[in-house]
Amino acid sequence: MLVKRLRPAPAVVLSDIQLVNAYAAGDELAFETLLHRHKRKVWSHIYLMVRDREITEDLFQEAFIKVVHHLKAGKYNEEGKFLPWVMRIAHNLVIDHFRRNKKMPSARSTEEHDVFATIAQGGLNVEQRMVNTQIDDDVRKLIEQLPEEQREVVIMRTYLSMSFKEIAEHTGVSINTALGRMRYALINMRKLIQKHQMQLERA
């Protein structure tokens, strides 16, 4: 009697949201799968911004610690958008890193200067520094409200001093597209400034 050799059933590939739900239900392996699936992209993204392996590793670990805390606390509500959500967390940690090291946004053109103008804080009194710190926080909040593609360009351009050629190469778009995203980001930020009647004049 011949016995047919059965082929193993193909492995079922779960979506990110399925893995998130499984992890929330107590399946620790589900998170390991998510980490393995997105580790390279998140790590590379952070490294491109900070250009330091040790700092990248620290920020990467911190990012996924935040991810774990949010998932366990039931704060994840962006169904189907797990990777962009993680990227935003990583972006914010990179911004925090540069702010702690006093690497604030620098103006590259007259247009950008309107929103991102900065001055050296040496010699400022306590009140002036408090005003400037509040402005930096407000600018960060504005950036966080931008669409993902615009936010990415703004961070690379203003916080990392990358050229539009470098931004285009990193994001896989043309230089004109990168320029367009920056232009629309500035337009959107000005609208938000007007909407919330924000004052971004430094001391």
User: What does the mean pLDDT of the chain come to?
Assistant: 76
Q: What is the pLDDT of residue 107?
A: 40
Reading the block at residue 174, the tokens are 């043309």
User: CA torsion sign, 101 to 107 to 113 to 119?
Assistant: positive
The pLDDT value given to residue 144 = 77
pLDDT confidence bin for 202, thresholds 50/70/90: very low
pLDDT at residue 183 in the model: 92
pLDDT for residue 104: 45
Tokens linked to 64? 């996924």
Task: Evaluate whether 98 touches 136 at the Cβ level (below 8 Å).
Answer: no
Place of tokens 């010699």: 123
Among 75, 84, 74, which residue's Cα sits nearest to residue 25? 74
pLDDT score for 200: 55
From the list 203, 60, 50, 181, the residue with the least C-alpha distance to 122 is: 203
Overall size of the chain counted in residues:
203
Token pair for 69? 């805390």
Q: Are 17 and 82 in contact (CB under 8 A)?
A: yes
Q: How confident is the model at residue 74 (pLDDT cuts 50, 70, 90)?
A: confident
d(CA 108, CA 111): 8
First-residue to last-residue Cα distance in the chain = 90
Query: Does the CA dihedral 170-173-178-181 come out positive or negative?
Result: negative
pLDDT tens track for 85-138: 898 899 888 878 877 775 544 444 445 544 554 434 444 555 655 555 566 667
Q: Which residue has the higher pLDDT, 135 or 84?
A: 84
What is residue 120's three-state secondary structure?
Answer: coil
Is a pLDDT exceeding 70 seen at residue 5?
A: no
Instruction: Write the pLDDT tens digit of every residue in 20-31.
Output: 999 988 999 999
Q: Which of 147-151, 167-171, 192-196 has the highest mean pLDDT?
A: 147-151
| pLDDT reported for residue 8 | 54
Domains of the chain, earliest start first: 15-103 (1.10.1740.10), 104-203 (1.10.10.10)
